Amino acid sequence: MPTPSLPEFKNEALVDFTRPENKSAMEAAIAKVRGEIGREYPVVIGGERITGLSTWDSTNPAHKDEVLGRFNKGTRAHVEQAVEAAWKAFESWKKQPVDVRAGLLVRAAQMMRERKHEFSAAMILEVGKTWAEADADTAEAIDFMEFYAREAYRYASEQPIVKVPSEDNNLVYIPLGVGAVIPPWNFPLAIMTGMTTAAVVTGNTVVLKPSSESPWIAYRFFALLEEAGLPPGVVNFLSGSGAEVGDPLIQHPRIRFISFTGSKEVGLHINEEAAKAQKGQLWIKRVVAEMGGKDAIIVDRETSNLDEAAAAVVASAFGFQGQKCSACSRLIVDEAIYDQLVPLVVEKTKALRIDDPASGDAQVGPVVSRKAFKTIKDYIDKGVKEGQLLAGGVADDQEGFFIQPTVIGDVDARATIAQEEIFGPVLAIIKAKDFDDALRIANDSQFGLTGAVFTDNEEKLDRAREEFFVGNLYLNRKCTGALVGVHPFGGFNMSGTDSKAGGRDYLGLFLQAKSIARKVKPESKTVQDAAAF
């Protein structure tokens, strides 16, 4: 097994937009990407561009009437074609050496790095990310490709097993086959890139169904893979609705695995449908699911720097308008410091700048769509009846889908806004009697994705390590911002299958292990027996 001539993995650096040259570069990228709006984009199956279908428009949530691109709607017939094309490509792709597959990811990562601002600009326009949030998304996408390229070599190398003298034994990992990749809109580049390239670098082929909220950035990524040299059919771009494309895809008997990131409701539906063996199906479908969260930050009475804790809460709650599965939506505060901490959180929330993210000055942009706008507004209306409105609460959809960052205090731990995932800029503040009570409240959730604890007490931090039931726990820092390779990401309970994206276990989800044993004949036995006579 060849050793990769790749340097040690290092996370992609984030861009400092206070530097004039970086600010100018992003402005130029936004202008360039704006010059591409209004085009029609095809379904792509086995390298063939398919147009002439019904279409829908992807629009800018900051300017709801601005059409970014027009996308063809795939049908059930296209699902059949895409699955067939993917299996055909699999026959050759699975035989490619790891150098070829990993090399493709490294090339694509470098190409994305060279066009970093253009990918970020597309996210700023299509889903309303601020410059900093979009840049972090692009950096994470690059990280996923670089990290998984290196991980592919580890899985392709000789595996450590116990040796016996009578046999030659090996354990090898082989790809699963054809999978469905169904990414989310909230990290429209990073998560989609990670899900897709993890499957591809391990020798699988995929049907990529992008989110209907972010097909524009998805097509840009797909085109990059093609340009990097990905053979036709290894990734098939199948835009369309959940009913016409999504369900037929996950129910298809020839789909071997489903990689999904999204809501709890959709994730459970996918898991249920995947569990049903279809006529002609030869395997138990594997589901890799990352779903929702109702993430909590606990601030204990033994926290000396309350200003730092408040800043971390606000960043975790309102980064990308709270549209992260890792976002802090519950702040659990020890009653002894409640009246000290909460005003700091409110002050910092009210200071956030809300604007069109393309301007570069915004700290908060629009929520992603009209549907999201209405859902979040309904939760706010319910929340102000369940607690005390301390900040925000105003929603304005005249030009775009803007909702002020909203803080609701004195919320009961069992209230609707303390239990249900809102996926928007809404923070519920809950008062705890003490640290024991705070941990109880934090764990009183169907979810278990991220969480954070602020305290200067080392014993309490140790208790959080043992008792706070989440997949990603952060101590004395915010609960968002997982880094590839540093914080393998994925949660418990209704938060998903604890997939640990960006970690050493992740590629194994797209592989199956095969043990190969060969009996070894004793080389010297015949000679020794002859000598005895």
The residues carrying an active-site annotation are: 290, 325
The end-to-end CA distance of the chain, in Å, is 45
Per-residue b/e over 253-280, b at no fewer than 16 CB within 10 Å? Answer: ebbbbbbbbbebebbebbbebbeeeeee
**Partners of 71 in beta bridges:** 41, 56
User: Do 119 and 138 contact (CB within 8 A), yes or no?
Assistant: yes
User: Do 166 and 195 contact (CB within 8 A), yes or no?
Assistant: no
How many of the other CB atoms lie within 10 Å of CB of 498?
18
**In angstroms, what CA-CA distances link 469 with 246, 293, 327, 328, 480?**
32, 12, 16, 15, 16
The values of phi and psi at residue 50, to 5°, are -120, 120
* Residue 351 CA from chain centroid, whole number: 29
Rounded distance between C-alpha atoms, residue 377 and residue 43, angstroms: 34
Rounded distance between C-alpha atoms, residue 315 and residue 327, angstroms: 9
Rounded distance between C-alpha atoms, residue 195 and residue 144, angstroms: 9
DSSP codes of every residue in 3-21:
PP--PPP-PPPPP-TTSHH
Q: Which helix (H) or strand (E) holds 374?
A: helix 370-386
Q: At what angle do helices 190-201 and 215-228 cross, to 10 degrees?
A: 40
Rounded distance between C-alpha atoms, residue 293 and residue 212, angstroms: 21
